Chains A and B, each alone.
Chain A
Amino acid sequence: MAVLAGQADILSGAIGALVGDANEDRAPLGQPCGAATGLVCAAQPWWVRRKLVMPPGVFAIRDVTARYRAFALLLLARRDLSALPRPTPRPCCVFSTWRVATSRF
C-alpha cells in the first residue's frame, strides 16, 4: 500500500476501465467463460470498484453498436473522469504508474 501514497489526485476522479464481459459464454459443463479483464475488474478492491464509471452489465450489451455508444455516453457524461486504464491484477501497479506518469508529463 505504500506505493499508493500521494495518489489522491488520481483516485479522486472516476475511472473509465474498459474491459470485456466476464460471462460471454458457457462451457459445455456450464462453467462461465469470458474475458479475464472483466474478472479482474470485478475482483478489484471496493475503493477501486466504487470509482468505476461503467457497471459490469454494460460490457455484456450484445449489440456492438449499442455497447460502444453506451461506453461513449457514460464516459462523456463524467466530468470528473481521471483515468482510462486497462485493468491489471494489481491496482497498485496501475496507480504507481499513474503517479510517475502524471508527475512527468
Chain B
Amino acid sequence: MLRILDVASGDFTLLIDGIGRGSANVIPELTHGEETLVSGCLHADRARADRLTRIGPLQPCLWRPALRAAMTWRGGSCGFAASRLAERLGGVVPVCDPGYLASELVGTLNLDPSIDLQAPMLDDHVFEFADATHRGQSETQMLGLHEIEPGRDYALFVTTVDGLYRYRMNDVVRVTGFSGATPTLRFVQKSEGFTSITGEKLHESQVRDAVAAECRQHGLKPVFFMALVDDECARYTVYLELAQGPPPPGIAGAIDRALGERNIEYRAKRASGRLGALKVVPVVEGTSHRFRLHCVGRGQRDAQFKSIPLTTRYACSFDFDACRPAAA
C-alpha cells in the first residue's frame, strides 16, 4: 500500500490525465492487452480528475473520502510499515490488523482493532503452545489455551479441521490479555530460521546457499555470517566474517541476486521495491567466537552450540555493528 501511495504521488499528473480521459495509455510500459484490460475498468471522469488536481499529490488522506479502513498486518516486522501507512493516511483512516492469518489457518479474529484484541478461533482449531524462550525439549511440554499467561511469548502449534496435526507454525505469539475468559493473542515474529518482511518467507537454507555460492564464486573463504532483518528500512543485512581481507564491493549485489534465484517472492519484492537492496557488512576476525561466547553466556550449551544464520534484530541480542572493522 505504501508503494502504491508513493507511485500515486510521484506519477500524480500522469495518472490524473488517465482518469480524466478514462484511458490507461498514460502508462507506457503496459502491453496492448494489459492496456485494454486496465482501460476497461475506467471511464472518462473529468470531475474526479479536477477534484484530485485541486487536492494535489501530497495529501493522500483526502483522495478517497469514502475510505473507511485499510487492513494490513501490524505485528512483527510489518509494524514499521503499518505506522508509516497510518501516517500517510493522515491518521484519519484506521489501519487495522485483520488478525493472525496464515495460509494454514485463520488463527484469530480481531474483535477490536483500536486495542488489537485478537481472540483465537476456538471453534475451528486446537491451539497449543510452547514456551518461546526455550528450545528443544521444553517444546514437548504443550500448554493449552487455558494454561498460557498474559505478557508471555509462546511458539504456536495448531491442529486444524483441514488435517494439520500439532503443526508448528514457526511463529511466536504473545498473550495480550483476555476477552472474557479467553486469552487474546498477537503475532510477534517468526520463530527461527525463517523471516518475512513483506511476505517473501525467506528460509535460512536459501540465505546459506546464496552466501556460500557467491563467496565461492568470488574466491572468498567465509568464516561466519549472520543475516538480520532490518524492519525499518525493509531489507536484509548480512554480517560477514572472512578468513582473509574485506569482501569485494560487488558481493552484496551478487548475494541479493542469488537470493532472488532461490526465492521467487524475494525476487518479486525486490523488483517492486518493497524490499530494499541487501547490504553486506564485514565484521572483524573473531566475531564468530565472540558471538558464541555471548550465546553461551546467555544459557546456550557450549557443547551443542548452534546458531541460526537468519533472524530478526528483535531476536538477536548480539551487537554485530560493534564488530565492524575500524574503517567500515
Interface residues of A (CB under 8 A from B): 9-10, 13, 18, 20, 24-25, 36, 53-55, 57-58, 61, 63-86, 88-90, 93-94, 96-98, 100-102, 104-105
CB within 8 Å of A: which B221-251 residues: none
A9 to B67 alpha-carbon distance, docked (Å)? 10
User: Which one, A68, A88, A105, contacts B94 given CB within 8 A?
Assistant: A105
User: Do the beta carbons of B110 and A66 come within 8 Å of each other?
Assistant: no
Least Cβ–Cβ distance between A41 and chain B, in angstroms:
13
B66–A74 touching, CB < 8 Å = no
Min C-beta distance of A100 to chain B, whole Å = 5
| CB <8 Å contact, B71 and A68 | no
- Per the bound structure, the CA–CA distance linking A97 and B110 in Å amounts to 6
Does B147 make an interface contact (CB < 8 A)? no
A–B Cβ pairs within 8 angstroms, 30 of them: A18-B1, A55-B37, A58-B38, A61-B34, A66-B30, A68-B3, A69-B11, A69-B14, A69-B15, A72-B7, A72-B11, A72-B15, A73-B24, A75-B8, A76-B63, A77-B45, A79-B48, A79-B64, A79-B65, A81-B66, A83-B68, A83-B71, A84-B70, A85-B71, A86-B72, A88-B98, A88-B106, A97-B110, A101-B114, A102-B94
Check if B181 is an interface residue, CB within 8 A of chain A: no
- Give the complex CA separation of A84 and B70 in angstroms: 5
Taking a contact as CB atoms closer than 8 A, the residue among B4, B37, B73, B110 that contacts A72 in the complex is B4
CA distance A54 to B24 in the complex (A): 13
B34 touching A98, Cβ below 8 Å: no
Are B69 and A74 touching (Cβ within 8 A)? no
Cβ of B217 under 8 Å from chain A = no
Give the most central of B3, B26, B37: most A CB within 10 Å. Answer: B37
| B residues with CB within 8 A of A | 1, 3-4, 7-8, 11, 14-16, 18-19, 24, 26-27, 29-30, 34, 37-38, 41-42, 45, 48, 51-52, 63-73, 94, 96, 98-99, 101, 103, 106, 109-114, 264, 268, 271-273
- The residue of chain B having its C-beta at the shortest distance from the C-beta of A14 within the complex is B66
Q: Do B15 and A98 touch across chains, with their CB atoms under 8 A apart? A: no
**Given contacts A61-B34, A76-B8, are A84 and B63 in contact (CB under 8 A)?**
no
Chain B residues, CB < 8 A from A89: 101, 106
Taking a contact as CB atoms under 8 Å apart, the answer to whether B4 and A10 are in contact is: no
Bound Cα distance A52, B15 (Å): 20
Closest partner residue, chain B, to A25 (CB atom): B264
